[in-house]
Amino acid sequence: MKAGDRVQFLNENDEGVVASVLTADRVMVTNSDGFDIEVAIKDLILKDDECSNDLLIQTVHIEQQIFRKENKKQHQGEDFWDHVYTIDLHIEEIRSDHRKLNGFEMLMSQLSYLKDKIGEVQRKGLTEFVVIHGVGTGALRAEVAQILSLDSDFVYDSASATKYGDGATLVQIKS
């Protein structure tokens, strides 16, 4: 995240522009009312998905290549995929009242659910999990990638297209 990036607050119905980067995990954001607010990066969503996608691709490209090489043989059999912890972000799986939610509320519910489930994965000491985000417009996939990129212990890449289609990400947790 850098100065000038447009952002959406995760827990508020507001947006703003990053005024400055304070630390590796905190920024100063000028909100839509013109107030400067210090915010944790994990509590923001980049609004320009195309730009954030390019940055994420550049940032994790090398780790993804290593991840593919190290795990190619291990993950070839379908038996492996049957035993991987799965986090399904399809809104109808998360919220019974999903038809009453607008797009932003759905996305916030999905991201909150993802963060809760990642915490559960870490508490259980698991080393791998799959996030099913679907194909759609790519916005949810980009937000998932942004959340995963905040933890340097996560290495991630597309999950088995045979098992999950094109809408899933395999995450490995470095030890």
Average pLDDT over the chain reads 79
Give the tens place of pLDDT for each residue, 103-142. 888 999 999 999 999 999 988 888 899 999 887 777 888 8
Q: Is 126 helix (H, G, I), strand (E, B) or coil?
A: coil
Give the tens place of pLDDT for each residue, 44-90. 887 754 444 444 444 444 444 445 555 554 555 545 545 688 899 99
- Give the separation between CA 3 and CA 37, rounded to whole angstroms: 14
Q: What are phi and psi of 171, to 5 degrees?
A: -120, 130
- Give the separation between CA 130 and CA 6, rounded to whole angstroms: 29
CATH for 49-173 is: 3.30.1370.110
Residue type, 95: R
- Cβ contact 109:101 at 8 Å: yes
pTM: 0.56
- Cβ contact 19:28 at 8 Å: yes
Pairwise pLDDT comparison (65 vs 93), residue with the higher score = 93
- Give the separation between CA 56 and CA 28, rounded to whole angstroms: 21
Taking CA 103 as the corner, what is the angle to CA 38 and CA 27, rounded to the nearest 5 degrees?
Answer: 15
Q: What is the 8-class DSSP label of residue 102?
A: -
